Amino acid sequence: MQFIAHRGAHDVFPENTIAAFQRAVDLGFDAVELDVHATADGICVVHHDELAASPSMAFSIRGTFYHTLRLELPDIPRLDDVLDLLAGRVHVYVEVKGRDIEEYVAKTLANTRAECSVHAFDHHVITRMKQLLPKIPYGILQSSRLVDSAHALQAVGATDLWQWHEFVDQRLVDEVRKVGGRVICWTANTPSEWNLFKDMGVAGICTDLHPARLKPELSTASLGS
């Protein structure tokens, strides 16, 4: 079972920053999850929301050129810089957040040594990404419980079901595993949940639990097992 640092380990540093991703590595996470948008000139950057704010003004990432964004908001990293940092160290789960940015994301991922997977709430994004970059793993995000989540995975050729943790149960895990898929639950933030989900056979837990509390639990919710 993988432990995945949700937007990096952001107990000390801001989420989705180089410092947060480095801290996740230092704390022994198996993987990190991050969010991707693209600037007006097609540069993939890591940030949760499409809007980003400096002390003086707010920016639409989609409507701002990278040079301007970098001057005003230097903490927002380029995706390729994050991948360079994490290559050979942890798995990187890339959530495509921006609209119509699949080509930019695919180009960036095609040129990295990092081990990556892609997931999105918009399942059509996964269909388009698979056409551009067919050889990496894909996943779909769900914040509700579908009647047939296994079919939703199969419909787009994905293997990872990112399911909101409140809707993860043994039946869901079994249904997904029967079609060759895996369940990753987000965002589970208590050791008791970790142990429960581990017993169900989930593949990964995406968490923003304070990382200092992670180490004592490794004997029971074994990292990387």
Specify the fold of 2-213: TIM Barrel (3.20.20)
- Other Cβ atoms less than 10 A from the Cβ of 215: the count is 11
Q: Give mean pLDDT in consecutive 10-residue pieces for the chain, a chain of 225 residues.
A: 94 95 93 98 98 90 96 96 98 97 98 98 98 97 96 97 98 98 95 92 91 50 43
> Which are the contacts of 134, defined by CB distance < 8 A and separation ≥ 6?
none
**What are the phi and psi torsion angles at 201 (to 5°)?**
95, 25
Q: Which two tokens stand for residue 68?
A: 């301007």
Distance in angstroms (rounded) separating the CA atoms of residues 202 and 40: 38
Give me the residue spans of the domains in the chain.
2-213
The percent helix, strand, coil of the chain (3-state, each to 5) is: 35, 25, 40
Map tokens 């050791």 to a residue: 191
Interval 34-58: pLDDT, tens: 999 999 999 999 999 999 998 888 9
